[in-house]
Structure 1
Amino acid sequence: MANSSEFGPLTPAIEVAAAFPNNIHGKTVIITGVSPKSLGLATAAAFASQSPANLILTGRSPDKVEAAINELKSIYPNVKYHALILDLASQSSVRAAAAQLNKDASIPSVDILINNAGVMAIPTLTTPDFATNHIGHFLFTNLILPKLIKAASTSSTPTRIINVTSFGHQFSPVRFSDVNFTKAGAELPESERPEYQKTEFFTGKSHADDVYYGFFSYAQSKTANILHSVALNQKLWEKHGIASFAVHPGAVDTNINRHATPSDIELALKRVKELGFDSAQKTPGQGANTTVFAAVGSDLRPVGFEGDHARGAYLADCKVDDENVAAFATNKVFAERLWALSEELVGEKFDF
């Protein structure tokens, strides 16, 4: 049986999937945010290579989802693909997609949910990253959770929920008192303020006087992805045996960077290299490797807790990376606060 020591930062996701065939073959997998040339499509291809029973691919655009499915069919024609139209920025769309899936008797259970879709650093405050990257996934996950619980109760292989996050979470905690960016940082409680020194180091400017800054919005949502996994482990592991991990895919050349200027990306990658991290841009097939490992790796230990902090919830380069996750992203008290805030924002409480 393979383990994380056999994989590196540039290991193709398809190789990771091939190392754990029994955890994929015959299973039902959902991946959000799948379109041509995307990280989601590369993730889907890795799973398709090991013959899952159902591969459910979601996206906002029916044409893009169908194009992705057609590309997969040309390589892996024997997999049963399902298109599920899902706009994570719209709670009504999320509820409609979840209802459609829940009513589908041909899919009685879901073994793996990959919350992959995301937007990054929107220049102006329209629909915040927080709504798409966290709230939409929070709502969708909870609405379909009974199908995951059913899988966990009947399967001998892992049932997991994977949240795709980013090292970029380091720029900001969750602004519990101001998630929609109406206040300058100086008006926030100290525990909610962005990491201005770190921001200046990576971007050349602190943005301390900005009420809204796209990378702070993105960072907040990526912190929320990690805290979501922390909360899911608190609520689901002991009771149902469902684990959740948050993964950093690395610097992947995909369309998510469309709002960032080339100079911003170049400077950030230069700073990453100066800090001693691998700054090489990955292909989508390489960037999907940690997502696949988190979903099917048999040697992953359950997330544990030391005091107020989770350990083992954050992965990068196909291994647990507790050293490079911010303390505010693993704090179980913050995870509980985020869960309560998310319930408030979707107008529904969830208890499993």
Structure 2
Amino acid sequence: MTDAYEIVIDKIQESKISTTDFDNLTFGKTFTDHMLECTWRDGKWETAVIKPYGPIMVEPSCKVFHYGQAIFEGMKAFKDATGDVFLFRPEDNWIRFNESAKRLAMPEVPKEVFVEGLKALVNLDKEWVRYGEGLSLYLRPFMIASENGVAAAPSTEYKFMIVMSPAFAYYKGDVRVIIASDFSRAADGGVGYAKAAGNYAASFYPNNLALAEGYQQIIWTDAASHEYLEEAGTMNIFVRIGDTLLTAPNNDRILNGVTRRSVLQLAADAGVTIEERRISVKELNEAANNGSLKEIFGSGTAAVIVPIKGYKHKDFKFELPQLEDSYAQRFKEALKDIQYNRADDQHGWRVKI
């Protein structure tokens, strides 16, 4: 790339926004007019290009298909009542993206490509960011191995891209979960902390089994013993016992969630007692039986914060109480107020486009 990290913009002839039904969106199925693409080859990043959204040309021998070098991030842009558009903690996603890249032997993406490219792309398609409760523009930066060849080795060429999709709420209706006792999401020393595509592929089969039983997600447990809570499907997990908020500590099996960190900060701001420690299934079931288990909720970019209505662990089932002033609702509203520019941003999380 040039010293100025030039981003070339090739604008569409005519926007498809007028033919988009924003009242009937399916999450992640509709995409904006433009996308960003930047190629890494010969040991360096080439010029980033923003161009009309459309197919990319790859050969059947493209290494991503054979050895799974694929990572991504999930982010959102929000519009406030005056029409201004904001990103939420984009540098945190950039840092995590590069942590994933390093773990999968992929090149790190410069900040000027990831963050500045994201800003330029959102600015170009900012009419796709709609104002209203629950509305946002979902942003999907990703990188794939694009070298042709089936030799088992890291690729020598990669494509970094960003696509964007207007979004409503990710989860609709009540969410109940099964606590895993057989399958595992990640193991010690693995790639659980990275946003690697394969992590999600491996979860689909056990999640289908849960769906067949009438449960929407799985709370994953540690692979060694299945005794400790780790993540909930596509979300980090929080448990409220009494008035204490508990969450599993970060490790090489658990994704370092941006929303998770935001919830922990908001809880600290509110004076809530927080414990980042291992939470055993035994402790959870005992709290359910003695009445001290008040809430379980998940946090993530797409989902924001999702209350868990009930859970099953082997033969034990429990329905969570209905609370008028839940932590989940309190922190979800506080987070949305910051994202939609309805409240002061004392931590500097909003980035105006």
Structure with larger Rg: 2
Report which of the two has the higher share of helix. Answer: 1
Which structure exhibits the higher relative contact order, with contacts defined as CA atoms closer than 8 Å and separated by 6 or more residues?
1
TM-score by length of 1: 0.25
TM-score normalised by structure 2 residue count: 0.25
Higher strand share: 2
